Amino acid sequence: MTQKMHADQIEIGPPVPNDLMGKDKAALLLAEADHTVTITAADHARVLRKIDLTILPVLLTVYCLQYLDKATLSYASVFGLIKDAHLRGQDYSWLGSIVYVAQLVMQPLIAYSLVKLPIGKFVATMVLSWGITLCCMVAATNFGGLMAARFVLGALEASVAPAFIAITQMWWRRIEQTNRVAAWYSMLGVVNMVVVLARVYLFPFADKRQLGSLLTYGLGHIQSRLHPYQ
């Protein structure tokens, strides 16, 4: 397949060779058209805008939630995690570290899976499993249960960043990829800024030791049979 590029349009044609048939859906579509397809700058801008509005918000939301999950362990400690779960010695530190140990262990398997499995279904399964595990962690009331749940969370979270890089490379041109990667990676800072602003401006006179995020603050004060950290 050859491309002839101009300042205002891209011409794609002729049909792809037989050895590419069945390997690339976009190449198959062009082959079935059986004529030169002209993509103008306006067409490109329209498609780019649709991709940005459809795919990028999903990447931003998932990355934001997964980073927020990492921060919730410190919030949970404020609401009695160490006391209610009977944590001793280095137990609390291990709950934070085990996530990254699991991510390190899982990287080879994640890399293999990204090559062998459909990336959309793979990422959706991993993120859904992560959410289910996070909900099930409420049932963990001791160090062993929390460690197991946190290890599974880390193993599932290990797929997010590599998969998002692959998705960015698949859907955006090289010149467009830097800003998109920066956008979903900046969610790390967005979470921190929201937490800091909530502390400084919304609760200026509150005890800062009792405030994590607004969401955690509200959840921690719900009256129920569960411990506040749960």
Which two three-digit tokens encode residue 54?
A: 């459809």
pLDDT digits (tens, 9 = 90+) for 41-97: 888 889 889 998 999 899 888 888 887 777 777 777 777 777 777 888 888 888 888
Quote the pLDDT of residue 138: 82
- The kind and range of the H/E element at 38 are strand 37-40
Amino acid at 64: C
- Using 50, 70 and 90 to split pLDDT, how confident is the model at 220? low
pLDDT digits (tens, 9 = 90+) for 18-29: 555 455 676 677
pLDDT digits (tens, 9 = 90+) for 102-150: 989 998 999 899 888 898 899 999 999 999 998 888 888 888 888 888 8
Asked if the model's pLDDT at residue 205 lies above 50, the reply is no
Residues 72/216, Cβ–Cβ less than 8 Å: yes
Say what the pTM is: 0.71
Amino acid at 224: S
Residues 171/187, Cβ–Cβ less than 8 Å: no
Amino acid at 139: A
Least reliable range by pLDDT among 67-76, 117-126, 183-192, 211-220: 211-220
**Where is pLDDT greater, at 193 or 51?**
51
What is the Cβ-side half-sphere exposure of residue 152, based on CA atoms within 13 angstroms? 18
Is the preceding peptide bond at 108 cis, omega within 30 degrees of 0? no
